[in-house]
Amino acid sequence: MSDPYWNHNVHYQPLILDLIPDGCKRALDVGCGDGLLVRKLAARIPVVTGADRSAEMIGLAQAESRHLHNVTFVEADYLDDAHGLLSEGRYDLVIAVSVVHHADFGRALEGLARLLTPGGRMIVVGLGKNRSAVDWIAGGVAQVVSRIVRRPHGGKRGPHGMPAMDPIMSWGQTAREARAILTGCRWRRLLLRRYLLVWDKPWHLPSERSLRQEGSRR
Ligand SMILES: C[S@@+](CC[C@H](N)C(=O)[O-])C[C@H]1O[C@@H](n2cnc3c(N)ncnc32)[C@H](O)[C@@H]1O
C-alpha cells in the first residue's frame, strides 16, 4: 500500500524496517506522531506501542489504527513518564524518528536506553544543525535530491499540526556524543537531512557495584 504522504521521515521508514532485530516481540515508537511507522511495524512485530506527548497526535494515531489489534498508543513523554505508562526494560526495539534533536541529547539517549530490554536495539533517525562547510554542502545536496525523490509522491503533505522543532546540536556533536554515551553504537549521516544511529544494548551491563570494585582495584 502506498504511503498517504511523503517526507524525510517516511522516506527512511524502509531502512528502519530492515533493521528490526530477529525475534523482536515488543517494539516502542517514541514520538510516534500519527502512527504511520507503528502501523508498518505491526505487520512484522507481535506487540507494538506508539507513544507521543501530543494528545492530538495520539488521537489521530488511534483513529487511523482501529483495524489493528496488536497496537497500543499512549500519551506519554519519554523524558518525564510521570504516570509510568512506558515499561522500562521491556522493549526489544525502541525507535525515535525526529524526536531527540530538541532535547538534552544525553538525557534523551539514556531515557531511550532504559526502556530497552537487555540485548534490545535502539534506532534513532535524527537531524542536526548545520555548522561546518561540509554540513552546508550536504544540506544543499539533500535539498536538490529531495526535490527529485519527492516528485513521484506528488504534493501529499504530512498530518496537519504534527509538532516539529529545530535541532539544537550540530551533526558532528551528535555523532561524538552518541559514540561517547552508547558504547559500540553505529552512527552515519544519511543523504536526506537525517542521521541513523543504531545501538544494541549489551546483555549484561556492569553493575555500579562491580564498576566501583573495578575502580578500587586500579
Ligand atoms: C517531527 S514529529 C515526528 C513524528 C514521527 N516520529 C514521524 O517520523 O513522522 C516529532 C513527534 O515527537 C513528539 N515528541 C517530541 N518530544 C517528545 C517527548 N519528549 N515525548 C514524547 N513525544 C515527543 C512530538 O509530539 C511529535 O509528534
Q: What pLDDT was estimated at residue 195? A: 97
Contact assessment for residue 202 and residue 185, using Cβ atoms and an 8 Å cutoff? no
Ligand 1 centroid, distance to 109 Cα (angstroms) = 15
Ligand 1 centroid, distance to 96 Cα (angstroms) = 8
Of all atoms in ligand 1, which is nearest to the CA of residue 78? 20
Give, for ligand 1, the residue of 52, 62, 110, 193 to mutate: max count of ligand atoms closer than 8 Å to Cβ: 52
Q: What pLDDT was estimated at residue 67? A: 95
Does residue 125 form part of some domain? yes
Ligand 1 centroid, distance to 214 Cα (angstroms) = 40
Q: What pLDDT was estimated at residue 205? A: 66
Ligand 1 centroid, distance to 31 Cα (angstroms) = 3
Residue closest by Cα to atom 16 of ligand 1: 99
Does residue 144 form part of some domain? no
> What SS3 state is found at 162?
coil
> What SS3 state is found at 182?
coil
Does residue 135 form part of some domain? no
Range of the domain at 86: 8-129+159-216
Q: What pLDDT was estimated at residue 216? A: 59
**How many domains is the chain partitioned into structurally?**
1
Residues in the ligand 1 pocket, defined by CB under 6 Å: 9, 30-33, 37, 51-54, 57, 77-79, 97-99, 162-164
CATH number for the domain including 28?
A: 3.40.50.150
Q: What pLDDT was estimated at residue 204? A: 80
Q: Enumerate the β-bridge partners of residue 50.
A: 29, 73
Of all atoms in ligand 1, which is nearest to the CA of residue 54? 25
Does residue 113 form part of some domain? yes
Sign of the alpha-carbon torsion through 198, 187, 102, 60: negative
Ligand 1 centroid, distance to 45 Cα (angstroms) = 21
| pLDDT tens, position by position, 107-152 | 999 999 999 999 999 999 999 999 999 999 999 999 999 988 888 8
Of all atoms in ligand 1, which is nearest to the CA of residue 13? 8
Does residue 212 form part of some domain? yes
Does residue 150 form part of some domain? no
Does residue 140 form part of some domain? no
- Residue 107 corresponds to which amino acid? R
Q: What pLDDT was estimated at residue 150? A: 85
Q: What pLDDT was estimated at residue 110? A: 94
Give, for ligand 1, the residue of 34, 99, 194 to mutate: max count of ligand atoms closer than 8 Å to Cβ: 99
pLDDT beneath 50: ranges in the chain = 218
Q: What pLDDT was estimated at residue 85? A: 86
Question: Per-residue DSSP letters for 41-90?
Answer: HHTTSSEEEEEES-HHHHHHHHHHTTT-SSEEEEE--TT--TT--S-TT-
Instruction: Give which of 203, 168, 199, 169 is closest to 185, Cα–Cα.
Output: 199
Q: What pLDDT was estimated at residue 128? A: 95
Cβ density class 7-38: b for 16+ within 10 Å, e for less = bbbbbbbeebeeebeeebebbbbbbbbbbbbb
Helices assigned H by DSSP within the chain: 8-11, 13-18, 36-42, 55-64, 105-115, 133-150, 171-181, 208-217
Does residue 2 form part of some domain? no
Q: What pLDDT was estimated at residue 206? A: 63
